[in-house]
Each structure stands twice: as C-alpha cells, then as structure tokens.
Chain A
Amino acid sequence: MIMAAGSDGTILSAEAGYVLLAVFSVLWIGLGLWWGRKAKSFDGFSVAGRNVGLALATATAVATWITSNTTMLAPQFALQLGVWGALAYCTASFGLFAFAPMSGRIRKLMPNGYTAVEFVRQRYGKLGSVPFLIISLFYAITWLVSMTMAGGKLLHVLSGIPYEVGMTVVLGVCVMYTLFGGMYAVIGTDFIQSLIILVGLVVVAIAVLTQVSLGEVHHTLQEERPMLLDVFFPAALMALFNNMLFAFGEIFHSNVWWSRAFAMREGVGPKAYALGGLIWLPVPVVAGFLGLAAPALGIGISQPDTVGPLVAATLLGSGGALMVFIVVFCSLASSIDSLLAATGDLIVNDMAEPLCAGAVSDQTKRRWSSVAVIGLGALAWGLAIPNYGTLATVLFFAGPMVGSCLWPIVGGLYFRKASPVAACASMIIGSAAGLIAYYAIGWFTASLIGAATSGMVFVAASMIWPDEFDFDSLAGPVTSSDSADEGAVDEQ
C-alpha cells in the first residue's frame, strides 16, 4: 500500500516518495564513491582525466541538457504557447549542434584548459573576464537554485513531501556524490540518468496515448483553446527565437559545457555534442505533449509549471507518478551535479587560484574543489528556501545576460580581431538592453534583444578597436596534474 495516493490529494503517498528518494540517494552516492577512486587529483576531479569516450560523452550532453525545466517547463510552454511552445523548446538543441564544432576547437586550442572563464581571461584579459565571470556565476547559481526549487516543488506536488525537505534531500544527495566523485561521478551518473529519462518519457507518453488519442487532443484544443494550435501565435513565435538564442548563449558561455569539452577524448567532442543534440531534440515535444493533452483530459492546473507531472500522475495513477518522479529526479540530479562541479571549477580555477600570489599545488586545488562544492550547495539551499517565483521567471531572468555572451565567445574562438573592449562592451550593453526588454516587454523577448544588441555592439567595437590575437598563446604548458593523474585513470 506504500504507493497508494496520499490523503491530502497528492498522487503518491509521502512514504512512497521517501522510499524512492532513499533508493536513488543510495544509488547515486554509491556510484559517486565508486568513481571517486579515480578523482584523486584536480585534473581527475574537474575534467575526468580528459579521456571520456563517445558513449559517456554523448549521454552527458543529453542528460545535462534535459533539466527539470525540460520535463516540467516544456509542458508548461505547450499549455501556454501551444504547439509552437513545444517546438520552441526544441530549438534549444540547436545550441548543442552549434557547440559541436566549437568543442573540437576548444580542445585543440586549450589542451590543458579547465574552464570557459580561463579562456576568456587569456583571450580578452580582465576587461573581458570580469563581466564574463560575473555573468557565468550569476547564471550558474540561478540555474542551480531553479533546479533545487524544482526538486522541492516536484516532491511536494507528487507526494506531499514538504518543499523544504524535498529540495534539501535532492540538493544534498547531488552535493555528496559530486563531492566524492567529481566529473567522473557526474558523467557516469549522467549515462544512467539519460537512459532512465528517455525510457521514462517514452513509457509515460505511450501510456497517455492509450488513454486519449491525438485526434481528441487536437479536437479539444480547437474547440476550447484554438490559439494553442495557431500557426501565427505571435508570443509563441517570439519565444521560438528567444529560446534558441538563450540556448546558444547558455551553452556557449557556460562552464558546464566547456568542462565537458575539456573532459572528452580528442576528436570525441564534435560527434558527442552533435549526437547529443539529435537525441535531445524530441524530448521537449514528448514532454510538451503532456501539456497539450491536459485540456482534453479535463485536468485542472493550478500551477502551470507542474502540468506534466500532474497529467501523467493523474492519468496513470501510482505507476505514472512513480515514473514521473524518477524521470524528474534524474533530470534534476543530472543538472545539479553538473552545475556544482563546473561552478566549483570556476571558483577554484578562476577566483581562488588567481588571487594566490604563489603556485598552487594540484592537491590544494583538489581540496578547494571540495570546499567549493559544499559552499555552492549551501548557497543554493539558502536561496531556494524562500521559494520565490515560477521556474520560468527565475530562469529567463538570466536569459539576456547569457545571450549577450554569445558573440564574445564565438568571436573570441574564431576571429583574431575580436578585442577585449568589444567583448566587455557587448556583454554589458547587451545584458542591460535585454533586462530592460524583460521588464518593458516580456521574458520572451529578453534573450532576443540582449543577443541582438550585444552582436551589434561587438561587431562595431571590434571594427573600431581591432585586436590581433595569437591563438597559439592559448595552449598552456602541460600541468603537473597530468602525470599525477595517470595512475588513477585506468581504462575500464
């Protein structure tokens, strides 16, 4: 009877929720400890020995990009913006496709690199790296808090577990296995999580299709909410471009993706990111279908960002609730662990180490990484406790800022003339313009205007104050950690 619905109207009993939490917590932490044997040095902890193969590399791209926002926000997009809403979310995969060739170039230019900020610091100096570091940290922490909040909300909606308890457990588990296993644990668990998410989504979608046909869904939408089927739905079309630029900016700037590019074996990155994009592409449509099906099923939605779990759980009962619980828990974990590891690297590599006058040993950096992961977990917990705003509000507030990083990164990787002044001005002016648009027009224009303004400023400033950068200068010397880690990184 542990799976029976709760007495307070939830789909799953609190006991079932606690059992699932316990099972997956033990699994992830156990795997973190197992893989943590390899993560003794900073090189192993932060970039998994730089030798990740195609299977794990592809899966980590898929799992990291399937956030709880994909499984919870895509149905909300579909419910509020219709078919275009689901398709708009799909355009986020274009960011993975575009990053595929960039990942190869990053690996080639910086064979011993660790972070995106490290690249910007070497490429543009402090003028570019200071605003970039601020944006990177702001976005990473916003995303981390958004995921943590999603964890608390999901557990509460499905099983009645108090928000504070749910989000604390989800965050705590991710902190622990990232702490033990670093990037090895993050990438290893990503493979299992990506399989669970893909299979879980397929099972839920097929089960929903056995209850309601696509013809019925279409008919109900046409009768009750025709705007959701409108080919020329203005806000939805704006969201399409906004989401695409948000994704470009997010993937291009975030150390979550750069650290994976450094971790992948030479030649693997471009294939892994392209395949990851292809596998990720259909996920928002399948998840969004749950939102589109809600009106046909007569399911009342009080909180739009939980429409997906509610539809599946209401329709499929305990089995559906369990499946959705597991899928979203995996989505959350795959993003939270990545953010903890990648943002910890930023703190160690781009804040703490540059502040030290002398050389910092590999073991010292490894210890700092542990402290950084714990500190980030504590910070995210403190910010998520008030449970402020919807997921979309929190996430899209950072959209214009990451959109304004798009051109400085692309320009910095491929064009010698891209200059520090241009990078700095484009990030600051683009972010400001996007934030003004966010408040004056709406969230669905913020990234679009931020990226467009940033692009114009970047091109103009690079023409007025051109640089002549030597890309060979990016290839730093081989670090001591390379040899230190060899013994720990044995092939399986």
Chain B
Amino acid sequence: MIFSVWFLKLIVIGGIALCIAGAVGLMVFLISDMKEKRIW
C-alpha cells in the first residue's frame, strides 16, 4: 500500500500555505506589539 498522489499534493501544498500564513502571522504580531509598545 502506497501513499496516493492526492496525499502528496495535500501535504506539500498545505505545507507551503501554512508557511505563508506563519510569515504573515509573525508580521501581524510584530505590528500589534509595536502599537502597544510591548516588543520587549
């Protein structure tokens, strides 16, 4: 039994999408912290 092609697509495309969301999320947190002067 082998992993199907759709599963490979799911993890690779899903992984790329999550990486993008992560980078955007970090920027949002930074802007939020800057506004509240709570970076450190």
Contacts and interface: CB of A to CB of B under 8 A. Distances in A.
Question: Do A and B come from the same complex?
Answer: yes
Interface of A: 48-49, 51-56, 58-59, 62, 82-83, 86-87, 184, 187, 191, 194-195, 198-199, 201-202, 205-206, 209, 214-215, 217-218, 222, 226, 229-232, 265, 275, 278-279, 281-283, 285-286, 289, 292, 489, 491-492
Question: How extensive is the interface on chain B, given as a class?
Answer: 20 to 34
B7 to A, nearest CB: 8
Interface of B: 1-5, 7-9, 11-23, 25-27, 29-30, 32-34, 37-40
* Cβ-closest 10 pairs across A and B: A279-B22, A282-B15, A55-B29, A285-B15, A282-B18, A229-B2, A55-B30, A218-B5, A198-B23, A53-B33
A492 to B, nearest CB: 5
Contact of A282 (B8, B9, B16, B27): B16
A463 B3 CA distance: 45
B8 to A, nearest CB: 5
B29 to A, nearest CB: 4
Given A55-B26, A83-B3, A201 B39 contact: no
Contacts of B34: 492
B38 A281 contact: no
Given A55-B32, A282-B14, A491-B39, A231 B22 contact: no
B38 A217 contact: no
A214 B9 contact: yes
Nearest to A268: B38
Contacts of B5: 214-215, 218
B2 A226 contact: yes
**Taking chain A's interface residues, is the majority helix, strand, or loop, or is none over half, making it mixed?**
helix
B39 A199 contact: no
A48 B40 CA distance: 8
A212 to B, nearest CB: 12
Contacts of B15: 205, 282-283, 285-286, 289
B30 A191 contact: yes
**Taking chain B's interface residues, is the majority helix, strand, or loop, or is none over half, making it mixed?**
helix
B39 A232 contact: no
7 contacts: A48-B40, A83-B7, A87-B11, A198-B19, A201-B19, A215-B5, A285-B12
A48 B39 CA distance: 11
Given A52-B40, A214-B8, A491-B38, A231 B3 contact: yes
A52 B39 CA distance: 6
A198 B22 contact: yes
Given A217-B8, A491-B40, A230 B2 contact: yes
Nearest to A285: B15
A64 to B, nearest CB: 14
B8 A275 contact: no
A194 B26 CA distance: 9
A202 B30 contact: no
A205 B16 contact: yes
A232 B18 contact: no
A63 B35 CA distance: 23
Nearest to A63: B26
Nearest to B21: A279
Contact of B22 (A55, A62, A191, A285): A62
A195 B20 contact: no
Contact of A222 (B2, B14, B32, B33): B2
Contacts of A55: 26, 29-30, 32-33, 39
Contacts of B18: 278-279, 281-282
A97 to B, nearest CB: 15
A286 B33 contact: no
B27 to A, nearest CB: 8
Contacts of A281: 18
